[in-house]
Structure 1
Amino acid sequence: MFADERRRKINLGGASSAQSHAIILDQAKARRLEREALRRKQEQATRIQAWWRGQREARLVRARMQELFAQDMFSITGLRCLALTCDETALESWSTAVSQDGALAFRSAAAPHQHQTSWLILMRQITLLLLKSVANSPRLNRSVVHLRVLTSIFSPSWYRPTFGSEATDACAAITRYTLDHGYYSLISQAIFAIPIPEAKTSQSLPYLVVLATQPFSILATSDPAYSFALEALLSRILVIPLLPNRIPIASLTHLAGHLPFSTLNLVEDRVPQVAHEDRVHLVANLVTFTSPRYSKLPKAALEAYAGLVTALLNALPINALDARHPGVEEYDSDMEAHAEGDVVTLPPLDPRTTKRLDVLFSTAHIQSLTSALQSRTALVKFLLSLATISPARKDDVLRAVQVNNGGGLVREIYRVYVRSSALGKDTEMNTLADTANAPSWTYLLFLTYLYNQALTTMGDDEFFSTAAPSSTERSIERNPLSLDDLTTFSRQLMNIAFTLYWRTPGELSSGPVLARAGIRLNWEGVRDIITKCLVAIHARDSRKPFTPQDHWLVTSNFDVQSFVEAAIFEEKELTSDSNAEVVVSGTRVRPTHSLSARQLAYLSPRLGILNNIPFAIPFPVRVSIFRRFIQNDAIARGTPDRYSFQGMSHRTRVHIRRSSVAQDGFDKLAGVDLKGPIEITFVDQFGQEEAGIDGGGVFKEFFTSLCKEVFDTDRGLWLATKKNELYPNPHAYATEPHSLNWYRFVGRILGKALYQGILVDVGFAGFFLAKWLGKQSYLDDLASLDPDLYNGLTFLKHYEGNPEDLSLNFTVAIEEFGTTKSIDLIPNGSNTPVTRENRLQYIYLISHYRLSKQIKLQSEAFFEGLSDMIDPKWLRMFNQQEFQILLGGVNSAIDIEDLRAHTVYGGLYDEKHPTIMAFWNVVESFDHEQRRALLRFVSSCSRPPLLGFKELLPNFSIRDAGSDQTRLPTASTCVNLLKLPLYQNEAVLREKLLKSITSNAGFDLS
């Protein structure tokens, strides 16, 4: 047929002389390709013929096997034919026959002993065929028949008539084989293929549920296949989304009762290796099926369950369980920012799954688990992972622990596990990253979380309570840690925090020790959490000291002067180029005015200490650093001496009417650079400029008058506490744009005072000062704002009856313009009653609203103006009490010797003049209040400068004021000058001076 085509064509005539070489090559190539194509055709034809012959033979063999199977489907030969043909029709016929009346005959094929081994081998394969058929089409009627047979095959009693005492072993052998060949994957595929709407009517699902738990009733717990089945159950069945919704109610009860949770300890160290989304569904299903059975589970099983859920939570991305519904309370994202691992975004969760996950964070669930779980290690790890996985609900978790005897848990964790640990000991500063300390880190971090949360709703009366610490009844009412405990604990935290700030993150390997402790954070995150608790404890100590002197200082670890110089250098380097950008934790930021305390710690260990744990450095040292920062800033701006106005060619000249000091200041200084020298010219009531040149004193006079006006509570911008401490008016009027502009202006003016070292005799409420320093305020600060509300919330916290009897809900009543309106503290707060479980949240939200939310816009505007003058990181070097001292001087006894040593005399006076000597005799006889009145009379501020009267600029001065014995002393506060007549008698001097300083008679601003 192909003879002519295969014959080689030979040209006997020779090559034509006209034919080119290229044509010859092309012809040869074409013939070669033609031969290759022919060869491929022949090979393909051969393969097609072979395949066709094979198919024909297979059909013949299959047909023969089907005949043999039909002749006796229960014999060994029939089973072998079924296993080899894998014919779906034959499989359906076989399972129908077995299901109806052939079971006995089927089992009889294995009766002869010599057939049992072959029978079992064939049954393994047929069982797998049945499972695959069900998995591929679980909704067909034949699958119901297959499932009915499968439930028999996986029942040892089915084998007993034939195998007798070996029936369980026979059933186990088939079970092991199918487990090795995807048993749970096939069941999972079948369950997942049935839509949820069909779950209640599905005939297949009840059988599938039985099969899901059947291996655990067949295999011994010591059998390795048992552990394998348990892992497969977790990773294949319990990861099915909305599993409880996919199963009929009757079968759901069966599943919940037959899940092998009592043996979970067999796989506690093996977390299912599944996708993040599957882990979420596994957690949801575990909690749904297990939480009602906590009290019934064996100790080891419950501990294993807690360990498994903990491991799953730690393997999930941060926020994986957060629904992120609108209106979720703002939260501290420190953990999210410092969590180890890549950021993974998961698909949105079904609301039904979200609802089941919410059970994890509920007070009832946490209380149930805490009561049932005896292992403190397992409990602490579980609660720590729960707080870590959802920063938005961290506070809910910690409050739930508080409600369930959180005080007793705090005390136990500290005294049993933390106090004796090596972490934070003065002699163990270099062992933080030692893996041997991993268990201690777990307890320490959770204790820090829990105690810091307790402080948010703990008033000072509770904090300083001296109740017996051994009492556990109503422990929520008492400070769970004694003051001695807190002294030791705070020192531990202080040593850890200082080490973590002083040593760069690269010097500590966060992986081994923190990972082993089950902590999701890196060292920066751990440091932030410890710092937060440390600052809260220090705030209580600042108000009412209970620690030894120098307890907070760490200056023994370094040379203070070198620290100061290095801190000033680091700050100068950061702000030398305001346009330069740096990368902090993966974020590009500009150093000037934009670095948070956390970011600053990343760039500079010394500035990190000063901004986060400033109390580690003595207060006078920080004040000197603050002054140096301002001095460097002034030099950089071309103003070598920020206090001097002499020789400055460029000044801002401003005309101020004495009758409108505040309004003119607001209007004319709005766009002025207040860091530069301001020359004030007063205009009298007739519109005439007052004589004189502003060398600094006139500006202080203006500043003093301005402060008296803008801080007058009658103006509507400020209110005063019972201690006469100012805070922004929370009224809606104060949030209008015009009012906010006034707050910005006042912030800039006070910034000017700080910049130039002018003391301001104004006291601010501590919770308002906290806003300046970037800190939060809690229940303990509410006592200064609203004592009645504070007492009411304290009563609610300690109330032993049912809080619902008080008819409270999550709203706050605000009265404005004679009308009271109710504001929800949480979504649907008016319909959410305050209960025993949520009262701590209510107390926190009320305090937060009154102390922060009501004055949020006002505080932000004020701080915006203040930040124009003073870098926020300079302010963060102080707490509220220290900042008030920096602003208005130290509230302590006036040192007359220091004042006398730094007093300047003018006119006829010198330090040996008789009137001056009489003056100092009189002043030394004054009591504390009289001395303060004198200082206020002369300088407009009753408190001395922090670092002594050498810091008072200009210096305290005394000048003669004539010889009229009836004239009262006067003062020019703008230049700190006392004008003292030449009194001849010490008694007269005392009388006249007291009259002036107590009644402001003869007060002279000029």
Structure 2
Amino acid sequence: MDVPLFADQPNKRKRAINLGGTHSATTHTDILQEARLRRLQRNDHKRRQDAAILIQRSWRSYLALSSARRSLRSKFDQDLSSLTALRCLVLLGHDEDALGRWSTVLLASRKDILLQSDHSWLVLFQRVSTMLLHSLSLNLRSQYAQAHLEVLSIFLSDNPQHATIARYLVSHDFYSSLRQVLLQLPVPAKTSPLLSPLANLLLAPLSSPELLPLALRELLLSILTVPLLPNRLLPVLTPFSARLPLASINLVPLEITSAPQLESIESKIHLLANLTTFMPYKYSSLSPPAFATYLRLCALLMNALPTHALEPPEARANPASNWADDSDDDEETKVEVVDSFEPKTRLPPLDDRTRKRLLTIPASDHVTSLLRASQDPTLLEPFISFSLGLSTVWPSRRDKVLSTIVAYNRGSVVKEIYRAYVRSSPLGRDDNQADISKPENASHWPPLLLLADLYTQALLTMGDDEFFSTGLNPDIPRNPLTLDELTALSRKLLNIAFTLYWRDDPNSAQETVPGMGQVKWENVREKATKCLQALHARDSRRPFTPPDHWLVTAHVDMNTFISAAVFEERKLAIPDSGRAAILNKRQLAYLSPRLGVLNSIPFAIPFDVRVEIFRKFVQNDIQSRGYTPWAGRMGVAKVVVRREHIAQDGFDKLGELDLRAPVAITFIDQWGNEEAGIDGGGVFKEFLTSLTREVFDTDRGLWLANKKNELYPASHSFATEMHSLAWYRFIGRILGKALYEGILIDVAFAGFFLAKWLDKQSYLDDLASLDPELYQGLMQLKHYTGDPEELSLNFAVAHEEFGETRSIDLLPNGSNIAVTRENRLQYMYLVAHYRLTRQIKKQSAAFFEGLSEIIDPKWLRMFNQQELQILLGGVNSPIDLDDLRANTQYGGLYDDDQHTITMFWEVVNSFTQEDRRKLLRFATSCSRPPLLGFKELNPNFAIRDATDDQSRLPTASTCVNLLKLPRYTNKRTLKEKLLQAINSNAGFDLS
């Protein structure tokens, strides 16, 4: 069937017709997107067009340049010796082949061309010279290198305008380019025809007087900072060194130390190493201005380096390598110490040859040569700066440097520094303490700090005979400073140290001192403190200062000081679990100004104030542990002790107890029965007194006594066995308990041993009390005018024990190191150090370990040796009867007005001081009065009646400080009986 033409076709979609325009259905976002797309297309098209134009331009330029270079090269090749060829060579730029041909041809046949002095030639010669230098700096092994060097040498020496050429080159990186040349030389140097012209080239600009200042400056910055420079120039080193005009170094400004070429630590080190290699041979010919500039420049370089920067690695790892270092710790006895608060500085690795060269700087021979050359008065100040820098960057060499300076010309340097600089210095004046950190005082610090170092070092080997010498005895050298000068110096140092400890801001100690490089205020404080401590030790032994010289009471309210110190100590209290982490004096000063004073310069505070602070520290510790001095003793720790075996039972039963806790002692008599009575403190005191009397008996083999009957640990091998060391530790704990409880012990220790308690070194003079013969021998060696090598001494000592003698080295391989004039002070110190320290190192360490378990070490550091002895055993001074009577208690029928008591005090008043001490020992077990008076005696001194039997002798209960005095009716009888009792050593009475 036929289908109509226009019939509906439902399966065919009708065409949609939009009468609203082509964009009527497009959204706003679509419009923006299409516009952005078109813009990107236009930008991309433009970029492509620009790139095409640039490529075309570059290609056309390249073609033109190539054509020009070919044209220039063609003209250059026509006649290499013409002015046109020279112009073409300059225009060709760095064409190594053309430059090499030109140098070779002119040297071979037309040297006269190189001598042209017309302006046209001169300008071109200057440009070609820079091209030659650039070529050498890139490749010294080029076949044209020698030709280039010879052409440059002609320009800078034979050409009539050589000065003009040299001035142009020096101002256009002449020495910077030659530095790159030198860095290409092999190390070690090999013989080469290039070395001689290269050395001449280095020195050529220095021949012009007008150019010398600038050329020498650039030489120092670019050439003398080359690592291992002498090794690179070794075949020509001698003529090079001889012609090097370092005698004119005063023409170079010291500001070069801040030049960009010296920014790195390595560049400073290499300049220092090279300077001190070439300069020493010229010392005798240097003018004072040149020598002063050299010393100041070296000082500035050293001051810009961190501490230990020049130390060999083994010395950095072992700071105690100093032969006169304060610490004598070794790996066996080392106590864990909190790390420094300072960030560690990374030090550059140095070639061993550079390090070896640097080590000649602090050598005694070099320092002595500097001293000989520094006789001009104007050189003292720069020598001071040099020496201070030297001892800062080489801590392990500091003692040798200082000892060499001290020994030179009988200490004349010490005297000159004090009188020329320190005496008139405003630093440390009583009226100027607050101004010490002002920048205008910068120039006054180096002399003062070096003097403090030098005199501290001098005291290590200066006997009292020399210290107090008046110069009348020609066999005894005179102290370089008079006692009046030392008094003034010590006061200056005291004011400075106290001000630096007393600063409110502890972080200021880490700030650097103006004009002193890397030296910090804490370094200043440390130097002043060391010298102060050494001077105070002398003054304590034989006073030479006026009364109250060391005190700062005018600047500090003592009541406030006590309260603040106790508060600071409470904040720093370390719990039992952390007692091994001990703050050293430096860190303590950082955290606590008052404890810093008490631990470093305690003598600035009156002794009675420090004793009061010590007692308060103990009281704080007792309270923090929940203990009460005497209450609660019944239930804390009960210890049964046999009277016949006090020491052994004490060792066995008290060895591991916490002795800061109260301890109740029960005695067992010889029949095995418990003695009646309750330990309220007195029985423990009796136990402690009897125990110390037994353990300090020299017949036991643990202790020896000097001629003053002062004790120190035995040095034989038996004393170092584990069992003996356990006893030393126990004895330390027992003495710590006595100090903790305030119980006086009638035992005297040698001063050098007490110094160990306080972490102080023993000085040579301490040896006189231990071994007078050895001390005299060392003094004779010090003053020996001949050659010490004639005495055939070496760095070893003979140790005799149980009939056998063996040699002990004082230094590694010491038996093969001879004692010479230069090292005899070191030998003296090491011998004394061996006798006073090394022989009793383990014994002292064990003793101090036990002591520090009870008494915090920083509490003890508030005292010196003499004061510590007083703290232990009381004051070795006349007994004040008025004080004793005012603090005496009476029992039974007695009171202060009773007839027998009145006669007793009259009799005792007639006693000699020796008899009074015997009476005190008889009643209290200790012959010395308490350090703060009898009010401190615990329990108080007491007298009780003991029948009216006129024939009976007085007795005593020393555990409670009680004298049992019969009711005598006659003064003569009382005196006879009392003297008989105290001289017969009557025993302890329990009745």
When the two structures are superposed, what TM-score results if normalisation uses the length of structure 1? 0.89
Equivalents in 2 of 1:268, 1:474: separation in Å?
48
Equivalents in 2 of 1:328, 1:529: separation in Å?
17
* Deviation string, structure 1 residues 925-976 (Cα, Å, up to 9, x no partner): 2212111111111111110111221211112222333344443332221111
- The answer (yes or no) to whether the contact 2:506–2:590 under 8 Å persists in 1 is no
1:475-490 to structure 2, matched below 5 A, reads 477-490=477-490
Deviation of 1:42 (Å): 5.6
Equivalents in 2 of 1:485, 1:30: separation in Å?
92
Q: Which amino acid counterpart does residue 371 of structure 2 have in structure 1?
A: T
What SS does structure 2 have at the residue aligned with 1:359?
coil
Equivalents in 1 of 2:339, 2:639: separation in Å?
50
Match of 1:391 in 2: 395
- The answer (yes or no) to whether the contact 1:206–1:248 under 8 Å persists in 2 is no
Q: Quickly say closer, same or farther: Cα 1:308–1:402, change in 2 above 3 A.
A: same
Match of 2:492 in 1: 492
Q: How many aligned residue pairs are there?
A: 949
Match of 1:624 among 600, 612, 621: 612
Match of 1:462 in 2: 466
Deviation of 1:870 (Å): 1.9
Equivalents in 2 of 1:26, 1:997: separation in Å?
118
Deviation of 1:990 (Å): 2.6
What SS does structure 2 have at the residue aligned with 1:73?
coil
1:559-578 to structure 2, matched below 5 A, reads 559-575=557-573, 578=575
Is the aligned partner of 1:635 residue 2:642? no
Match of 2:585 among 597, 605, 610: 597
Match of 1:297 in 2: 286
Match of 1:194 among 169, 185, 192: 185
Equivalents in 1 of 2:187, 2:142: separation in Å?
16
Equivalents in 2 of 1:685, 1:966: separation in Å?
28
Deviation of 1:216 (Å): 0.6
1:476-875 to structure 2, matched below 5 A, reads 477-505=477-505, 514-516=513-515, 518=516, 520-575=518-573, 578=575, 594-640=582-628, 642=629, 644-645=630-631, 648=633, 650-875=635-860
Equivalents in 1 of 2:167, 2:447: separation in Å?
42
Match of 1:407 in 2: 411
Match of 2:99 in 1: 91
Is the aligned partner of 1:70 residue 2:77? yes
What SS does structure 2 have at the residue aligned with 1:639?
coil
- The answer (yes or no) to whether the contact 1:139–1:204 under 8 Å persists in 2 is no
Equivalents in 1 of 2:923, 2:293: separation in Å?
74
Match of 1:315 in 2: 304
Match of 1:117 among 116, 119, 128: 119
1:178-327 to structure 2, matched below 5 A, reads 178-197=169-188, 199-217=189-207, 219-221=208-210, 223=211, 226-249=212-235, 251-272=236-257, 273=259, 274=262, 275-325=264-314
Q: Quickly say closer, same or farther: Cα 1:342–1:296, change in 2 above 3 A.
A: farther
Q: Which amino acid counterpart does residue 173 of structure 2 have in structure 1?
A: G
- The answer (yes or no) to whether the contact 1:610–1:876 under 8 Å persists in 2 is yes
Match of 1:113 in 2: none
What SS does structure 2 have at the residue aligned with 1:285?
helix
Q: Which amino acid counterpart does residue 230 of structure 1 have in structure 2?
A: L
* Deviation string, structure 1 residues 618-661 (Cα, Å, up to 9, x no partner): 21222222222222322333334x2x24x556321011122221
What SS does structure 1 have at the residue aligned with 2:707?
coil
Which ranges of structure 2 fall in alignment gaps of 5 or more residues?
1-20, 328-337
Range 987-996 or range 255-264, more displaced: 987-996
- The answer (yes or no) to whether the contact 1:510–1:523 under 8 Å persists in 2 is yes
- The answer (yes or no) to whether the contact 1:735–1:858 under 8 Å persists in 2 is yes
Q: Quickly say closer, same or farther: Cα 1:172–1:132, change in 2 above 3 A.
A: same
Q: Which amino acid counterpart does residue 98 of structure 1 have in structure 2?
A: L
1:353-368 to structure 2, matched below 5 A, reads 353-368=354-369
Is the aligned partner of 1:177 residue 2:177? no
Match of 1:426 in 2: 430
Equivalents in 2 of 1:537, 1:491: separation in Å?
11
1:900-919 to structure 2, matched below 5 A, reads 900-919=885-904
Deviation of 1:76 (Å): 1.4
Equivalents in 2 of 1:461, 1:134: separation in Å?
68
Equivalents in 2 of 1:107, 1:994: separation in Å?
115
- The answer (yes or no) to whether the contact 2:306–2:518 under 8 Å persists in 1 is no
Deviation of 1:208 (Å): 1.2
Q: Quickly say closer, same or farther: Cα 1:300–1:423, change in 2 above 3 A.
A: same
What SS does structure 2 have at the residue aligned with 1:827?
coil
Range 792-801 or range 325-334, more displaced: 325-334
- The answer (yes or no) to whether the contact 2:247–2:287 under 8 Å persists in 1 is yes
Deviation of 1:399 (Å): 0.7
Deviation of 1:900 (Å): 2.3
Q: Quickly say closer, same or farther: Cα 1:55–1:883, change in 2 above 3 A.
A: same
- The answer (yes or no) to whether the contact 2:367–2:404 under 8 Å persists in 1 is yes
Q: Which amino acid counterpart does residue 293 of structure 1 have in structure 2?
A: K
Q: Quickly say closer, same or farther: Cα 1:367–1:709, change in 2 above 3 A.
A: same
- The answer (yes or no) to whether the contact 1:896–1:924 under 8 Å persists in 2 is yes
Is the aligned partner of 1:81 residue 2:88? yes
Match of 1:587 in 2: none
Equivalents in 2 of 1:147, 1:457: separation in Å?
59
Equivalents in 1 of 2:228, 2:60: separation in Å?
51
* Deviation string, structure 1 residues 900-921 (Cα, Å, up to 9, x no partner): 2322233343334443333333
- The answer (yes or no) to whether the contact 1:933–1:998 under 8 Å persists in 2 is yes
1:933-972 to structure 2, matched below 5 A, reads 933-972=918-957
Equivalents in 2 of 1:1002, 1:201: separation in Å?
94
Equivalents in 2 of 1:106, 1:827: separation in Å?
64
Q: Quickly say closer, same or farther: Cα 1:942–1:829, change in 2 above 3 A.
A: same
Equivalents in 1 of 2:140, 2:680: separation in Å?
95
Q: Which amino acid counterpart does residue 200 of structure 1 have in structure 2?
A: K
Range 884-893 or range 916-925, more displaced: 916-925
Deviation of 1:306 (Å): 0.8
- The answer (yes or no) to whether the contact 1:968–1:1002 under 8 Å persists in 2 is no
Q: Quickly say closer, same or farther: Cα 1:618–1:757, change in 2 above 3 A.
A: same
Deviation of 1:500 (Å): 2.1
What SS does structure 1 have at the residue aligned with 2:428?
coil
Equivalents in 2 of 1:498, 1:845: separation in Å?
32
Q: Quickly say closer, same or farther: Cα 1:56–1:1005, change in 2 above 3 A.
A: farther
What SS does structure 2 have at the residue aligned with 1:1000?
coil
Match of 1:9 in 2: none
What SS does structure 1 have at the residue aligned with 2:641?
strand
- The answer (yes or no) to whether the contact 1:652–1:678 under 8 Å persists in 2 is yes
Range 665-674 or range 978-987, more displaced: 978-987
Equivalents in 2 of 1:611, 1:419: separation in Å?
28
Q: Which amino acid counterpart does residue 51 of structure 1 have in structure 2?
A: S
- The answer (yes or no) to whether the contact 1:938–1:977 under 8 Å persists in 2 is yes
- The answer (yes or no) to whether the contact 1:318–1:339 under 8 Å persists in 2 is no
Q: Which amino acid counterpart does residue 629 of structure 1 have in structure 2?
A: F
Deviation of 1:611 (Å): 2.0
What SS does structure 2 have at the residue aligned with 1:397?
helix
Equivalents in 1 of 2:677, 2:169: separation in Å?
104
- The answer (yes or no) to whether the contact 1:268–1:308 under 8 Å persists in 2 is no
Deviation of 1:761 (Å): 0.2
What SS does structure 2 have at the residue aligned with 1:440?
helix
What SS does structure 2 have at the residue aligned with 1:196?
coil
Equivalents in 2 of 1:194, 1:48: separation in Å?
43
Match of 1:7 in 2: none
What SS does structure 2 have at the residue aligned with 1:666?
helix
Deviation of 1:103 (Å): 0.9
What SS does structure 2 have at the residue aligned with 1:404?
helix
Q: Which amino acid counterpart does residue 529 of structure 2 have in structure 1?
A: T
CA RMSD of aligned residues (A): 3.1
Match of 1:371 in 2: 372
Equivalents in 2 of 1:1002, 1:857: separation in Å?
37
